[in-house]
Structure 1
């Protein structure tokens, strides 16, 4: 099948596959054939043994390295292990060994064997598996804990354990076995021969026969024996034994348990002797007693069982006990392994067991059962009397104990408190897990010795730790010491150790046991507290705070140095009430005395102020006092503890502040300027007195935001509220609005600075309110005057343009015609009189040249006053102006007009023309530009004129300080049409003039 599945062609391929699988098993595996020869080992086995077991071994094998038994002495080859047999019941399932490698290292292992069978169940060989159990060998602390727990459990169950090394006749008893026989635990247990003294002759005979049989056959035994207690009484014992074997399978001894069943035997014997009184015993016994027939049906059910299960006897009679009370998973186990085995083999089967019974209400009770068999006349089992002890509460208590142990361990971890034990003979240390955590050491890496421990102690503390330990041994007393640990990374840990030494009966020191508590945090806190105390002393001195304590019984006070300095008294001088009262102002004595009386019955501190004349210099000082009464354990007043603070500088500041506040209030009144503050966290709104006067409301009247909003002029309320909400979002709050108070309208200017939290919530704010009504009147008058001036300027400009137009027409039409007529007259004179008069001809020619120049000047003047091209529209006028400017100046000039016609009325066209003309003049005079771009863009509401040069530019802020009438004229002309003009420039970046002219301008008169 595997060949087909893995597509293997030969048996050799299949064998290689099997070897490959075994070779990759994590544990060490060795394959031994039927003749006990090693034929294969995987990689893990080669690493574990350090040698190839399939090759011949050197002569020194078994001496220097190989498989060594746990005693560390005897050695054997793998094929000599007591693990190979065709009958699996005769061999142990696994044995513990020790592997010693050629490099000197070793590893404890658990070895187990599985037979390899062919398809016909014929034995082909064995597969030996070695499991590394080194970790299990590093658990001494856990082993001791388990041993201690085992002793506790043996004590609870009244079971003692023992073992006997038959070869050396060495016997080991548990502590409970000593208690069962009443022997001293400090004495050696009796050897096998002396067992005849602790058993009755008949019992010893039974025991001896069973032991001999066990040693010869390996058969286990269980006997009911009579033991002789040290006080002479007879103890009923169940003795169970099982043989021990060495690595070769040879029987070397016996181990087992002895169960003290004296009480139970007494009950069984009484029941046997008093069979006629069974019913009474069943009903009156406190234990749970059930009588079953040989098939397991309930025959009798005592009252205790009825109470425990809430079933009456009639309800359970004739029913199988396991079907009625046992949970399904326990039914077969109890029936087959306990009851049925007891019926079939009443001598060797267990007569006790434990299980859960389910009561009628579903509650489960844990019961310990002890069974007694009743036989008929032929010796066959007729009834089984089961006596049960409800150990539910005991079991619960045991669980609580385990829980408490776990909690104790957890508490040690939380409290950073570990325990340790030092074996004084071997100098070996045993640490709890918490100490490893405190020392930050891996268990596997720690050399558990006293010297290794000292290496972790800070070098400066090693001598003191060792001296404390030595002194404890010499004085036979406990010791406590605090020292430091030096961690590998340089950190310091503080450890508090408590230790006590345990001695034997001869006074020899056996072990030292102690605890180690990590107090690093506490030590650091103490150091920090010391620093804080020093800082407090310095702070009290810097803040002029004196501390005093007044003893009620003696009338004397204890002062610190600062208190003496405050009152100007010599340090360490005796202080009583009279000494102190002499320094206090006479007017302040009654108030101070009243405060001290209040302290007598108060449970909280009392505060007050008083004045003194300092004794050493007589200077007036203000004192802020605070004190609290102190009581003894009986609740009686015995002292007053307080502080004195020299607040003279604060009083001086308070006086100065009061004066400054008065000056501020006066200044606010004169400036009609009030201030306010708002604290959202503490819900506090404060107004200065001038704020109340501005709003004409009573001073100190409580105010809310809605009250303030109601005083605002109705048309301004929405704008003010909107500005306030925007300020709460981080915007600037600087607004002007009107208020309506007592029928009068006032103009106010409000400014505020608001402080917001990280999430945008208003925390507090500070602002001012100024009455600017008079300023508003002045501003309105000024604005009206400006409007009038602008209207006057517009009127003048319009008049100027009209006059230019008139003069241009007169110059062009009248003067031009007159000059043209004059030229014609002179031409006629030349024809009539100058043909033969050369001198006259030259004179007339000179006059004609002068006249032509005059005519051209006249035309230029008319054009300058009002270009005729304006009559053709602004587009043509600008084209002419740009062309003429380029010719005259040599500066490159571009004009960009919109595709649609520019429809401006005459006034707007003149304004645009003059602005462009003035801009080009400025470019020529000031900019030193080489290029100018002029453009007009149209939109539904405005025409936008832009004039941009690449000249040297200028600082716009400077022009406002000089007489820049050309630029002012540009802005004023734009304003005349209801538009605006902006001028943007910077040194070295040229100048941009942008003018917006409405498409339907309204010319102000």
Structure 2
């Protein structure tokens, strides 16, 4: 057993010797083995081997832990690079050695490990337009041994262009040469795009002429535009991100702060109209609309305030209110009842109503505020003769688009002129209604129409020819008898010119006669109308006299014609009989001896008047134009007498008393007499 044990120990010693051979010098091992007893040598050797194995195990465990930690750090670094779009590089300019992190590969549009990076690969990825400036900055850093910082574009193999920010630190060797550059590259494309969007938004915001500001939930200003700073005179740096307690001169007020708090609390839009004392612009009216918001991703809330300078509107509103009051007073003075309303909804309050409107329809004055078209119709209904018909008429007027005007007769005897005028105000359909009491005018007009009808009946019954011409020599009235004589109807002749009915030879003379009549002279002349067809010839004695047109008030010429055909025929017969008698006398004289020639007697009417003899004056007072015309014709045959005619009895009597004539002829049945 001892031999076996020694054999085992020897084998172990030999094995230990083989192990020590790898760690100790061979001579030392042989010396220790030769000098020491075999058991002691074996025990020491075993103990040393056990200690050495334990140390190696600890070293291996430490290295394994360090390697695991390094691998974890590498993984964390790679993950961090992906999150922040970052890459790193390590470059030795003297040897050209270049190493990239996985993130750097991705920033150059490459998969990690697909190629061995070098300076040529680096240059190929840089945008051609940025390469000259980049290399100039890179050479500066390498030559000076300082810091490298440059932003440029990277072109990927698929054509994608990204923006990166490169940073690096250069290490110099003992000879002052750039031995190493260690740095990072970060993708800033999203940041630049965000900045571009922000700049665009800021530019757009500054182009808006209305002052705009943005506040957070704590009341701190986060953004203001140029219009806001220009209106308030407060620079953006003095208000943006400043404590909420900072007052703004001329703007801050308890009312404004309370409305901001209410807007944030309720989430509802708020509008504040206030007069402000702005340092840069003086007293101005601002209308501020507050819009609450909540940012979806961050949950941050605040409000946007948009202000408008409505000073001009307020001033115009005050002026309009004053003008409306003046207009109401003016319209009340006209006597017309007026109100304005929307074109469609009868339940909307009236836009305007004057006092006369309330009085006309017996509406209490306290009902004026809030009065609607439906209320007006309800108050007017009892006065309508036929309410259903009037309601239908109002609906018809509302449906139309033009000006409507008609008369409305009420059951209390009043007559109203109703007018509706449509209009458009600020894109809204508006109708203005007006009512004028024309009861007196209507009754007077009815009386005038009755008188006119009587006069027309008398004119129609007058056994003569009657016409009226205006100053432009156009017919305004022709009776049926004259129209038949002229070969037409009254309707076809009214409105036609005198030149259309009179020959060119007679027109100048007749025009002069009408002009004299319009000047106030009474003109008499005869007119012969030759026979035409079945109509025999007609002789007319025409009188032209001046009158006033009742409608226009302008001067007009009345023409009265009397048929003197029988007189003319009698006169012709007498002349024929005279001629025949004279012919018979001459025949008888020729058959007997001619006696001494007697002295012929001169006609009394045609002989000259004695020297100093004046014509006798006769004043004829008569309101019947036909009688006046007859007397005028008769006295034309009496040159020794001068006839003066007067159609008004009172004026005729005054003329007779003022300048007594030789003879006065008058109609004792005239009204004054």
TM-score, normalised to structure 1's length?
0.27
TM-score, normalised to structure 2's length?
0.38
Rg larger in 1 or in 2?
2
